[in-house]
Structure 1
Amino acid sequence: SLFIRTSGCNLRCAWAGSDGNGSPCDTPYSSHSPEKNMMETEDVLLIARRNMDGIKHIVISGGEPLIQSAAVADLLKYTKHYRIHSTVETNGTKYDPKVSDNVNLISISPKLSSSTPWEPNLVNTGITYKEKWAIKHEKNRINIKAIQSYINDCWDVEYMKNEPDVIWKKERKHPDIKDFQLKFVVAELQDVIEIEEILEKLTGFKPSDVILMPEGVTTESTMEKAQWIAREAIMR
């Protein structure tokens, strides 16, 4: 896949690492300290076309791509026209029908309470604690309506507009045309409980649509968490 990374995010994720240090998101240069390299959409398309070289998949990530939704929608119209499979990675806080209409896979990663950048989550990260950002993150990190809208768009609902409450009983669109996944970063057991609470508010998904990704900085800590996360997932 060819990756296009946007800069800027409406959240500021950071976790408490198992070593006592903070663990910010893996792309702080596009969120906590966003780098600026302003480009016109046409220039991004030109660079992408020059570097495709047989690649048939484009992933648009961030930061949070949906804070630049108009530009992202334009990029997706290009990928759709040239039959290039597209993925947009989003935290699910913002919904844009033009993005949803043109993307093949919407990868939604709702942020759990363990990701809120309270001061302990920023220890030895070099990132200055800002209470206003922690409060803003905690307030905005989950948008059930936006997440559900993306899920709904992956179902064939043209003939059942009068039955929105039974959408999960209808047919999913072919995954090559439009699909979604719910990807959660898990740092502690409480996260699994919180995920269940979020899923109870959503409809139209299968267990195979839900991905649990262990939080970690080192291979060792990531693998350690992966083992108990897998056990918890199997139990459910």
Structure 2
Amino acid sequence: MKCLTNIIELLNECGIMKIGGTLISSIEFSGYMSLVIFLAGCPLRCLYCHNHELIKGGEEATLEGAFKLIDDSKDFIDGIVISGGEPLVQVEDLKSILAYAKSLKLKTKLDTSGYDPERLKKVIDLVDYVSLDIKAPYAKYKEITRLNIGDNVKKSIEIVNNAKNTYLECRTTFVPTLITVEDIKEIASKLKCDKYTIQQFRNKNVLDRSLEHVESPNPADLKEIAKEIKTNFKEVSVKTAEFGEEKI
């Protein structure tokens, strides 16, 4: 299969990128059977990260290979999800993959931390759905991620909200000892998004090994928090290992 640069202007020449794997999923993009591609690399060092092997890892792949994977999957998928790591690290490859998916009339979803609004601007017109991780109240970002990027995240939220046809889900992982109920309330009071999801912390395969001794929060407790902040958003969900995603 030849490099597909002639399909759409935004496609790059074939090059090498780093990926952390792929899968077909019915739950990563609500309502759509999707091909999920994990792009490797991330500038953040979130203490609770469970994909930390992708921070500096990943296997070499080509855009040509990514396009072929989409071609091979297109008859039984409705969309693609680009996750990570942090996909914006490899923004040119990300742009090319999204553009190719769009050329095939597939829906597109991007999972991101919003760490770099300028990179996000490069791809936002190609994205139907953004899941943006809100790691903490903006003032606590350096404590949780080791980077002081609260202002960048705010700008990224504005970029998505100003995009004409992009749905924005913001989501926060509730990590006992790192995040408090008051932190969630503060986050909710300052967010403008279509949907807010509270995710249950899992203490397996985390970057900071000390968090392996922290218990996962009770789903019932997360639901109570979600009920308290529900009036701030059109839709609020809780996502747990026990019950999956539940709309509150």
TM-score (norm 2): 0.64
Q: How many corresponding residue pairs? A: 181
Deviation at 1:234, TM superposition (A): 0.9
Q: Would the alpha carbon gap of residues 41 and 191 (structure 1) be closer, same or farther in structure 2, given more than 3 Å must change?
A: farther
Q: Aligned partner of 1:216: which letter?
A: R
Structure 2 residue aligned with 1:196: 185
Q: Aligned partner of 2:167: which letter?
A: D
Q: Aligned partner of 1:58: which letter?
A: I
> Take 1:79 and 1:47, find their aligned partners in 2: how far apart are those partners?
11
Q: 2:172 pairs with 184, 187, 203, which one? A: 184
Instruction: Give deviations 1:190-227, integer Å, cap 9, x for gaps.
Output: 43322333344444x35xx1000010237xx54x4321
Structure 2 residue aligned with 1:226: 219
1:210 paired with 2:196, answer yes
CA contact (8 A) 1:60 1:88 kept: yes
Structure 2 residue aligned with 1:92: 114
Deviation at 1:79, TM superposition (A): 1.2
1:107 paired with 2:131, answer yes
CA contact (8 A) 1:182 1:210 kept: yes
Unaligned runs of 5+ in 2: 1-33, 205-214, 230-248
Is the helix fraction higher in 1 or 2?
1
> Take 1:86 and 1:94, find their aligned partners in 2: how far apart are those partners?
19
Q: Aligned partner of 1:8: which letter?
A: G
Is the strand fraction higher in 1 or 2?
2
> Take 1:202 and 1:134, find their aligned partners in 2: how far apart are those partners?
20
Q: Aligned partner of 1:193: which letter?
A: E
Structure 1 residue aligned with 2:154: 144
1:49 paired with 2:58, answer no
CA RMSD of aligned residues (A): 2.8
Instruction: Give deviations 1:13-41, integer Å, cap 9, x for gaps.
Output: 124xxxxxxxxx2211112xx22423332
Q: 1:9 pairs with 31, 42, 47, which one? A: 42
* Identical-residue share of aligned pairs (%): 24
Aligned-partner SS, 1:111: coil
CA contact (8 A) 1:106 1:179 kept: yes
Q: 1:28 pairs with 52, 76, 81, which one? A: 52
> Take 1:191 and 1:182, find their aligned partners in 2: how far apart are those partners?
17
CA contact (8 A) 2:46 2:144 kept: no
Instruction: Give deviations 1:77-112, integer Å, cap 9, x for gaps.
Output: 111111111111001212222311001111101212
TM-score (norm 1): 0.67
> Take 1:48 and 1:140, find their aligned partners in 2: how far apart are those partners?
33
Greater relative contact order, per chain length (Cα 8 Å cut-off, separation 6+): 1
> Take 1:194 and 1:27, find their aligned partners in 2: how far apart are those partners?
24
**Deviation >6 Å, runs of 4+:** 133-136
Q: Aligned partner of 1:146: which letter?
A: S
> Take 2:128 and 2:186, find their aligned partners in 1: how far apart are those partners?
27
> Take 1:67 and 1:81, find their aligned partners in 2: how far apart are those partners?
23
Q: Would the alpha carbon gap of residues 138 and 94 (structure 1) be closer, same or farther in structure 2, given more than 3 Å must change?
A: closer
Instruction: Give deviations 1:25-82, integer Å, cap 9, x for gaps.
Output: 2211112xx2242333222111232234411121100000011111111111111111
